[in-house]
Amino acid sequence: MNFEDEDFELREIQKLEGHTDKVWSVAWKPATGINGIPAVFASCSGDKTVRIWEENSTGSFQCQAVLEETHTRTVRSCAWSPSGKFLATASFDATTAIWENVGVDFECVSTLEGHDNEVKSVSWNNSGSLLATCGRDKSVWIWEVLPGNEFDCVSVLQGHTQDVKMVQWNPSMDTLFSCSYDNTIKVWVENGDSDDWHCIQTLGESNSGHTSTVWSLTFNASGDKIVSCSDDLTIKVWTSKMQEWDQNAPWKHVCTLSGYHDRTIFSVHWSREGIIASGAADDAICLFVENNDNEVEGTTFKLLLKKEKAHEMDVNSVQWNSGDRRLLASASDDGTVKIWELVRLSGQKLLFQVADEVFDESAEQACA
């Protein structure tokens, strides 16, 4: 998609209320919001609940279910399995709950225990065969998904020296990434001859990394680039020449985006089109795109737009929907979730290509 010489707006579509405390995270259900399937997402909160929201025929979102009376403290993170059949929720009560989606109902079918205290993040690998969790106990756990809704811990990874804020699987291979209060990102792979996992690289200050807590990281669609964000007020982009047969290819710093947020950056997410969204404690959301200026050497990114006062308080989570519309969900300390749509202000018709599919869009349709 060409973002040159065009004006865009991040338009607020809806503000969703219902949570009674901070909303920590949002997660879109896979394969929704596309081909006529209504978009669905989950949100989790300090009110100990998870809410499931679904788009109706008018394009508005309504709460379809409230998952409660399972976690006894804040629900910090939520993640859908690739099939959308299961939702994992990580809580400060030291457990991770696995919910099965049957029709419109959700049933807690498993509870994963083992962390000493708060579980901060949960992530499924691309095939849905592995689940990772992390927490304040400085550890990362890898769980194997077994038949009958059973989960077996296959490895406990000790490497971080502080609270682990997030875990994320690479979308194209079983390589796990974790980021921490110790200012680093760690890359974990499985030993070929055993079930043991080990750290193959630490991205820290010595290799152009962050100088304070790393709160979040996310991958581009192909999995060969990472974007991370930090308490140091920067966003960093990393790249690797990894191949499926070489998970050990090193990750290298590409560029640093600074000066766009003036308080801690809590969340970043990369859309399938290559748009990076960030949310921060300055209540703002920023969007960045790759700079195609041939006069600039190397890969750089530029600000597409900044939405000041996107929320009344800290923006804790931003996530793009992967469907037909450029929908972004954001979650905040103000207790609300907002749905945004990125639209062009010009009336020109636009063809944009993602993967091998071509979509036909016009601003008139997007704004209707």
DSSP one-letter string for 123-169: EE-TTSSEEEEEETTSEEEEEEEETTTEEEEEEEEE--SS-EEEEEE
Residue in 176, 308, 285 with CA at minimum distance from that of residue 235:
285
Beta 150-158 vs 301-307: how paired, if at all? unpaired
Is-contact 238 254, C-beta < 8 A? Answer: yes
Is the pLDDT confidence value at 2 over 70? no
3-state secondary structure of 25: strand
Beta bridge partners of 354: 357
Do the Cβ atoms of 269 and 320 come closer than 8 Å?
yes
- Give the containing element (helix H, strand E) for 108: strand 105-113
Which of 3-7, 46-50, 80-84, 296-300 has the weakest average pLDDT?
A: 3-7
pLDDT tens-digit readout, 167-180: 999 999 999 999 99
pTM of the model: 0.91
Q: Are strands 225-230 and 327-332 parallel, antiparallel or unpaired?
A: unpaired
The DSSP element (H or E) to which 155 belongs, if any, is: strand 150-158
Q: Quote the pLDDT of residue 239.
A: 95
Over residues 174-189, the mean pLDDT reads: 97
pLDDT at residue 103, as a whole number:
84
Do 329 and 338 form a contact (C-beta atoms < 8 A)? yes
The domain ranges of the chain are 15-367
Tokens 């394969």 map to which residue? 31
CATH code for the structural domain at 15-367: 2.130.10.10
Length of the chain: 368
